[in-house]
Each structure stands twice: as C-alpha cells, then as structure tokens.
Amino acid sequence: MGSYGYDARFLKENGISYSELVSEDGNSKVLVVPAWQGRVMTSSAAGDEGDSFGWMNYEYIAKGEIDPRFSPFGGEERFWLGPEGGPFSLYFKGGDDQVFANWQVPKVLDTEAFVVDSSSSRQICLSKDARLINASGTEFDIRISRTVSLMDKADVEKVFGIRLPEEMQMVGYESRNCITNVGAKAWTKNGGLIDVWMLGCFNPTPTTTVFIPYNEYPDSACRIVNDEYFGKMPEGRLVAEDGIVYFKIDGALRSKIGLNALRSKGLCGSYDSSRGLLTILWCGAPPEGATYVNGQWGHQDDPFNGDVINSYNDGPLEDGSIMGPFYEIETSSPGAELQAGETLAHVQKVMHIQGDEKSLAPIVKAVFGADLQKIKDIFKNG
C-alpha cells in the first residue's frame, strides 16, 4: 500500500477502468479514469514500485455505491466548475440556504463519464456536453473538453528554466481544460459567470508544507491571503512573509486558504521532507484585468472577487468523523465571459520531483524564489 502498483491493482479489482500515460522508460506513469470525468487519480515517478502521489478514498471506492450528493473518489487532479457558493452557485438551488444539507455536486462533475475522443501512451483527450443552471436561474449550455499530456524532463526544464539531474525522479503532466458556450446566448456578469476549477487531492503528513509565492505590494490594502473559509486560522498554521505564504499540512485541522488575482503568481508548491517530495502546480499568472468568481458559500459582497490559487487541509468534522485525511491544491480560471461559440481554456501543469535536499533546494529557489530549509523548518515548533 502506498505504491502506484497497489493503487492500479486496487482500481482494477474494483471494476474501475483506466488509461495510463507512460514514459518510454516506464518510470513516469499517470493514471486517468474516464468514468470519473477524466480525472488523474494518481501518478508515479518510479513505475509500479514508486510512491503513489494521489490520495484515493479506498473505503468509498470499495463500497461500489454512489452518494447522490457527492462521490468522494479522491484523485490528484479533477475537473470541476465554479462558483461553488454565492448568488451564482452551481451547487445550490436558488432560494436554498447555502449549508451542507442543501449542497449538491452537479452530476456532470461527479457521476457522468466523459467520452474518450483519442488516446495514446502520452496523451488522452476527453469531452462532454452538459446543461447547468445556477442559483440565479441562468442556463449554461456547455461543451467540456479535457486533454491530459505526459511531460518529460526536457518539458519541465524548458517551462521553468531549470536543470533536473539524471538521478532525480520526476513525473509531470499538463492538462488543457476548455469550456465552450454552445448555447444561443452570451454568458455575462448579469446572469453570473462560471469558471474552470481544478482540484488535486494528495496525502498529508506531519512533514508537509504548502508554500505559495505572492506579489508584494507594501502600500496595498489588498490582503495577502484569505484564511477565513472555515473560520479564522489558529496561530502556528499560516505564515506570510517575504513573498511566500506557508501553510501547515497535517490532516488534523479543516482549514483553507486562497490568493486572489492581485496576489497570485499562478504557482503553488508543496514539500514533504520525509519523502524528499516536491510538488509543483502551475497555471500561469492571472491575465491583467481578469475577473475571478467568488466560491464562498452564503452572502457575498462581491461575487467577482474570487481566488486563483487555493489550498485545503483536511481534518475532523464536529462529530469527529473525517473523509480523508487529504490535502488539496487548486487552481481556477477567470470567469468565462463568452459569446455563443467562444471557448475559454485553462491550462495547468502538475509535477512531482523526488530527490535529496541538496538537489531540490536550487530547484525551489529557481522556481519559487523560496528557501527549502525554511519550508522544512517553519512549522517544526508549531
């Protein structure tokens, strides 16, 4: 348990069909499940024997039953649409209180399979047509297309201008996620906008820290990080200084943070010092003037002041139960102001790199402008 091979066998034994993207040497593997909206369930940098990087909900999958509200399969990259809450929510009906009892994930994002349009050892292309209605009654006729492509070391080195030593283990993939307005009416702010919302579930440890670079504006009134999704963050779990946000990931406290378009650089990382595992999530800097939808539940003062990058640390609910634990790192596209026939594309890249600290430190410095030793030590006394 904990290896890629174990997880692949587990899915097969439970009747879950999947496709694999595999490098020529067999070390880089990416497992995609078309029936679950083409989500990447997990990946490995060292073949079947390597660590399995995605979090999987073994108990739920093994039951073989579907929760009509939400199917928490897990997976390290899943396709969703936003906003989750507010006046233009896709997850609540108009007039309903935005509380968990009324929350419903649209079936196209939960239980409906995507169609495989093409597939090879390095790429899979999927699509799906859907109609969604938001809490304000606006209808969206959508064509979704999603392409997941394997990246090799040369691709990663080119993207970030870095060098990966030969002995370093790495797996990376790019996903291109498109939504097209196939209806007759334009999508405008008046009726509410939707966005592409990508969520990745990973395995937390006491030695894991999420770190996110941010734009520094000393005289700006714009807060650096939104940490009030589930109430104010307790001391010792969140630090923002010198252009980097540090977030404690241990699966022990349900908490979430987000950076908006002014602060976000379209980049997020996590580091588990016990496994020498660096994860990089890239979606590119927000376009100037872009509008991001607000996904917070309930009343909103501004439905178009949402986050670009988010991270979630799982933890027990009030009754002591817990779904995971897992942690998430997430990206969102701008809101899709689309005329009929127009398309919005949201591209993100996910990379897992394993190696010793001496080799990883210059990569972290080059990509994030951060110090690996500080990332490792910042919550040691927390």
Mean confidence (pLDDT) of the chain: 95
Distances (CA, A) of 63 to 15, 307, 324: 11, 35, 16
* pLDDT higher than 90, residue 233: no
DSSP-assigned states of every residue in 278-300: EEEEE--PPPTT--B----SS--
Report domain extents, the chain. 4-377
Read off the pLDDT of each residue in 192-197 and give the average, rounded to a whole number: 98
| 49 DSSP 8-state letter | G
Q: Which two tokens stand for residue 87?
A: 């006046």
Read off the pLDDT of each residue in 163-171 and give the average, rounded to a whole number: 92
Model-level pTM? 0.95
Read off the pLDDT of each residue in 90-101 and give the average, rounded to a whole number: 94
Please state, in angstroms and rounded to a whole number, the distance separating the CA atoms of residues 382 and 372: 18
The answer to whether the beta carbons of residues 256 and 85 sit under 8 Å apart is: no
Report which of 199, 229, 224 is spatially closest to residue 213, judged by C-alpha positions.
224
Please state, in angstroms and rounded to a whole number, the distance separating the CA atoms of residues 282 and 278: 13
Query: pLDDT over 70 for what percent of the chain?
Result: 99
Q: Which two tokens stand for residue 287?
A: 């376009």
pLDDT digits (tens, 9 = 90+) for 251-279: 999 999 999 999 999 999 999 999 999 99
Query: pLDDT over 90 for what percent of the chain?
Result: 89
Please state, in angstroms and rounded to a whole number, the distance separating the CA atoms of residues 219 and 197: 31
Rg of the chain (C-alpha set): 20
Sign (positive/negative) of CA torsion 53, 59, 62, 66? Answer: negative
Please state, in angstroms and rounded to a whole number, the distance separating the CA atoms of residues 35 and 79: 12
* pLDDT higher than 70, residue 336: yes
Write down the CATH number for the domain with range 4-377.
2.70.98.10
pLDDT of res. 102: 95
